[in-house]
Chains A and B, each alone.
Chain A
Amino acid sequence: MPVRLNPITVKKLRRFRALRRGFWSFVLLSGLIVFTLFAELFINSRALVVRHESRWFFPAYGDVIPGETFGLGYPWETDYRQLRERLRTDPAARARGDFALLAAIPYNPTENCYPGQFFRARPPDLAQRHLLGTDTQNRDILGRLVYGFRQALIFSLWFVLGSYLLGILIGCAMGYYGGTFDLVFQRLIEIWSNVPFLYVVIIIASLVRPSLGWLVAINIAFGWMGMTYYMRTGTLKEMARDYVASARVLGAGDTRIILRHILPNTAATLVTFVPFTVAGAIGSLTALDFLGFGLPVPTPSWGELLRQGTQNLTTAPWIVLSAVTAMTLVLTLVTFVGEAIREAFDPRTFTTYQ
């Protein structure tokens, strides 16, 4: 069944397309997101395809394949760069048509790319395929940026879902029920908003090993309040409309009225906030990682790269350059998209007051 869009929504989407800066930012950002979701195909120490003694292997998305499988004589995970060299130089293997196809950047983001050599940030080196150089622990910066972006996206996705769900529910309830319930929650929100978020995160992060889940939970706990204001006013406005009164007269319950009638009519404005929330979430995660209260080592993260960069401004400027450029780029794109959405979805474009 084809999805039937509301004609107003179609109009809004058309208008969004017409806003060129926002639209192309959206395309570019989507491209980046798709790229990072399939990053294993481009940046990976595991081979994409191996043909060894007439058997096919696809290690990139599978289980660990020990080196013994390929006759390398060790029980731990295969070093595919070594395997590729061996298959290339071994005449028998070449005769059989054995090969190993590696990703364009054959390193993973947590791996020491210069085994046997000491830790030192190394500048970009195209021959070694370190397009942006390595960080202070010999890890590929591009890999860390891309996989770090993925972490940031997952984080913001959960954060948006969680904080909006909570904010919408509580905001609607406040507007719908009003009275004491509204009053109490308003005061609660005012108090809660004044808890210094960063200190609480620092305290919690120093007591437990902060996983992604923990960080999302903490951020949601301190990030849902803003949404309630919009939902509360939106609900109050819709409540006064005749269709709500008629639904009530027809005997609809509170849940049905809120979820089926009011919410769809208020939710449209929420869409315009999403890009900014995402930008905020990426900023939060980066800030926490920067301060050392974010994801556990050796998870790739932008904040950690930024920290390394600022500590080695003079000795390894490429670290801070990469991190800052990536962050600026993504946050700018998100902001452009956000502006375009806001403009496209602006109700004043479709209604005129007389």
Chain B
Amino acid sequence: MNTRPLRTLVLAALALGLAACSGSKNPDSANASAPGSTPPASDSAAPATRDNTAEIQAYYAAHPEFFVFKTPADLPANLTWEDGSDLPELGSPERKRGGTFQGRIQDFPRTLRPVGPDSNSGFRGFILDENALSLGQLHPDVPGPHRFFPGLATSWAVDLPAKTVYVRLDPAARWSDGPPVTTADFLFSFWFFQGKYIQAPWYNNYYGIGETYTRITRYDDHTFAVTLAQSRPDLLSRVLGLGPKPAHFYRELGDDYVTRYNWRFEPTTGPWVISDAELKRTTTARNYIVLSRLENWWANDKRQFRYRYNPAALHLRVIRETTKAWEAFLLGELDAFGMNLAEYNYERLPDAHPLVTRGLIQKATFFNDVPRPNYGLWMNTAKPPLDDLNVRLGIQFASSWQLVIDQFFRGDYTRLHTSNQGYGDMSHPTLRGRPFDVAQAREHFARAGYTIPGPDGILRKPDGTRLAVTITTGYEALAPVLTILQQEARKAGLDFQVEILDASAAWKKVQEKNHQITFSAFGIGVELYPRYWETHHGINAYDQPYAADGLTPNPARKPKVQTNNLESIALPELDALITRYDKSDNLDEMRVMAHRMEELLYANASFSPGFALPFFRTATWRWVNFPSGHAFRFSGDAFEYGTHWLDETKKPETLSALRDETKTFPPSVKIHDQWKPKD
């Protein structure tokens, strides 16, 4: 008995450590069940045990309304073709090709499949999101409305009334294993995403027949059209964002997709590939993985691509702990490190740090203009006491966000004002988050009946009910934020009880609407206008939100679970606006509606807007270069567009300067504020 608890713990910790080691170094056990030995598709030794060509053709035939086959003669004549050729070119002609970029991943990927179970990891970015080309790409560095430049397409034409985008593919486009990219691969991608083999319900739903897209029409091998369910202002981005799937690679696709394709590298249209030799190596050594650049990539000399994706290889080391990765970066073993956290930027590597002043490490801040993750307090209005507007208003005034920004984020962050910020003029121009104001908070709490200060300083109702609400969150790293809010709220007589759970457990609780308040945020990609239906429509709050008259709340309504309406908000006027907004094809009309909706939400006071980061920061060793004067309006990552290049000739002198403190280079601490939001 005596030392048992301690010993059990130590043993368990040891076991954890061992498990961690085996994950990175000795994959035999982990790999035994996964078909790591399945040869890559390009290996001729792999017998094609299955051929789904007939099945696919039958599927096309069974859905003639979705898969339409026409001839080039059927193309409408009066189309206006665009190709984005007037956009400035990305990257710099000064760039050097070659070198190995030293990067870090937190875990070895659990699969190389880009879709299906376990695929939505950080590694997906390297093989899909920041690699494979879509039809067109959003240009990250021009003002005004969203503009696209060609990727796999050479040109496109929009027919708004018909909700259709016509696309001409680049005949030069090739898969990394050789075959050309054709219309067939796009038709195939819809079969791929609509089918059950991939075990990915989100894709089934989004690409489902009649959901987002209603038709794909083939004209010839390099011309097709995609028709959408609704005519919306961002119609073009929904088509140009499409990427093909290699039909020849997935000929064996069937029920065993998840295991059969687990460790095969899907041929890509992008520059980065995992070679067969590398795949073989990683079956026995999983402490790193290397992506190499295709030497004869088809887009090598294309405009917008000739100065990009410059390194010859990406070497991604598995480093689980952030602090360990930091040490590796300081030794020059990693080329770059994200410096968004104040602690790293001001304590660990301040601008006055010798490595920076001696010019060995360069720092850069890039202001961007993207939808901000809406960090804040989401109050569930279905749960008392938050069903009382005065309590919600009181909480708004009792939440000391500015102090959080000043103390925890050291003034780097800015105050968030609405839950949809960063959509340019679609975001509300004048609404401001309510300030911390004890007097106003107490006044609202008094109106809600909390008038008597208790012995612990927390307000009470005359019947003894304490003014206490629980904040549920899965953000363990942001615990100090909640500590500050908790301490300050006491001044207003409010008791915030903080409940920090495992991220998925917290989200489950919130999705089941069992929370009072949740401190969370939705991460949002670059979009033209905010969405409201998921988060604010009454149908996502309650099963039957309103009584027969459609206006008054239904007394017997039950919260609807598994939706993103975290505030359980159900306002008839808002619902009507959302419905009109979601059908509108006129951005000006939508802007007016969006502003009106934000005003309604502001009056409802159920979201206390927290903070937003208007930029991202990086630290890079001096052999990593960026085009001068470049910026990223629509990105949160300096490496996403692949405009950087490496100058490995600088590496030996830099690393020797690490030990020789007399050597210095010109320092570089840059702030790129072209896209700094005006606030």
Chain A positions within 8 Å of B, measured between CB atoms, are: 63-64, 66, 74-77, 110-112, 116-120, 136-138, 159, 167, 196-199, 205-209, 219, 222-223, 225-227, 229-230, 273, 276-277, 279-281, 283-284, 287, 292, 296-298, 310-311, 313, 315, 338
Contacts and interface: CB of A to CB of B under 8 A. Distances in A.
B62 interface: no
B174 interface: no
Interface size classification for chain B: 35 or more
20 contacts: A63-B455, A76-B438, A76-B493, A77-B457, A112-B484, A118-B410, A198-B8, A198-B13, A208-B501, A209-B501, A223-B4, A223-B5, A280-B5, A281-B5, A283-B5, A284-B6, A287-B9, A297-B479, A297-B500, A298-B479
Contact of B502 (A138, A206, A225): A206
B455 A119 contact: no
B interface secondary structure, majority:
helix
B484 A276 contact: no
A76 B442 CA distance: 11
B40 to A, nearest CB: 36
Contacts of B486: 298
B12 A198 contact: yes
A186 to B, nearest CB: 15
Interface of B: 1-9, 12-13, 15-16, 323, 342-343, 346-348, 406-408, 410-411, 438, 442, 453-457, 476, 479-480, 482-484, 486-487, 490-493, 498-502, 505
B347 A120 contact: yes
Contacts of B501: 206-209
Contacts of A209: 499-501
A196 B407 contact: no
Contacts of A284: 5-6, 9
Given A74-B491, A76-B491, A226-B2, A296 B498 contact: yes
Given A280-B6, A287-B13, A311-B323, A273 B500 contact: no
A89 B348 CA distance: 41
A296 B500 CA distance: 7
A297 B456 CA distance: 19
A345 to B, nearest CB: 13
Given A197-B12, A225-B4, A287-B13, 14 more contacts: A64-B454, A64-B457, A66-B457, A76-B493, A112-B484, A116-B407, A137-B480, A138-B407, A197-B9, A205-B502, A206-B502, A219-B5, A292-B476, A315-B348
Given A112-B484, A297-B500, A280 B457 contact: no
Given A75-B438, A119-B407, A209-B501, A112 B487 contact: yes
B483 A298 contact: yes
Contact of B407 (A117, A280, A297): A117
A281 B3 CA distance: 9
A276 B7 CA distance: 11
Which of B6, B479, B490, B502 neighbours the largest number of chain A CB atoms within 10 Å of its CB? B6
A222 B493 contact: no
Contacts of B487: 110-112
A311 B343 CA distance: 11
- Nearest 8 pairs of A and B residues by beta carbon: A206-B502, A226-B1, A64-B457, A276-B2, A63-B455, A198-B12, A280-B5, A76-B491
A304 B586 CA distance: 54
A64 B480 contact: no
A206 to B, nearest CB: 3
A118 B500 contact: no
A118 B492 contact: no
Contacts of B410: 118-119
Nearest to A275: B2
A162 B407 CA distance: 42
Contacts of B482: 297
A230 B1 contact: yes
A199 B11 CA distance: 12
B4 A226 contact: yes
B493 A118 contact: no
Given A77-B490, A207-B505, A296-B499, A119 B438 contact: no
B480 A119 contact: yes
A280 B3 contact: yes
B3 A276 contact: yes
A46 to B, nearest CB: 11
Nearest to A199: B12
